[in-house]
Structure 1
């Protein structure tokens, strides 16, 4: 049996999801080398991603990719602040102790989770509304053509 070819959009998504996870892993490795406090901060910051990786059973890993992306977006300003500080260890300790830091980072991951949960419903509603509009346009055209040609259509029974 021949191997099944992937849809280009599907392979692009898999590449993007894998790329985000590789970037996250590279940041973690870099932080291990630079500062253990920075690594502890990053590990704690990425807990929603780690949890999503374990619970995401889909083949595409959409949930973990979305949560990881938003989690990274939330943690990145603090990682930049660590990098720009004169003492990474001292700044990491300050960042770890700040409650606002954790609210922002975990809030960003929560937004990613909400987006993952709500976007499919939103897209289905948009497409179904579009289909209803298209159907009503076609029905109007059908009625117009039937009147133009003098065809009587029974509204009770659909045409074959």
Structure 2
């Protein structure tokens, strides 16, 4: 498991913490993409639509446009999701067939999903959402454990524009 490069980690760690603070205050996490440049130290936001099919269509296109405008080298998304506990993950298809969705099944686990797309690869993590203390409204999550994926081509991915070519030759370093 390769660690997230420090330049990106410095920019996304406060975003992860802000998500935790919101949940602990009883707020919901709205699906959002943070589009940024680690070189310029800038971040823009795109609120993602949760309408059926929209996240992979309209929202993805909005993120791509924002990434192009900002000359972004990363996109970081945070959203709440439903998942299965590890011991039920291999029964995913059967659970979908029986209950129609993960959310409708008795095995559903509330998660926060994180994805960081860079030109060096994509890091993905999920953290289980748990009650904070005895509150029914306030929740929290532990530290997400990111896994590196060298390529991601399906779904909500390939959001970054191609790197801008420099006017000083091919850009190859010797």
Greater Rg by CA: 1
More helix by share: 1
TM-score after normalising by structure 2: 0.24
More strand by share: 2
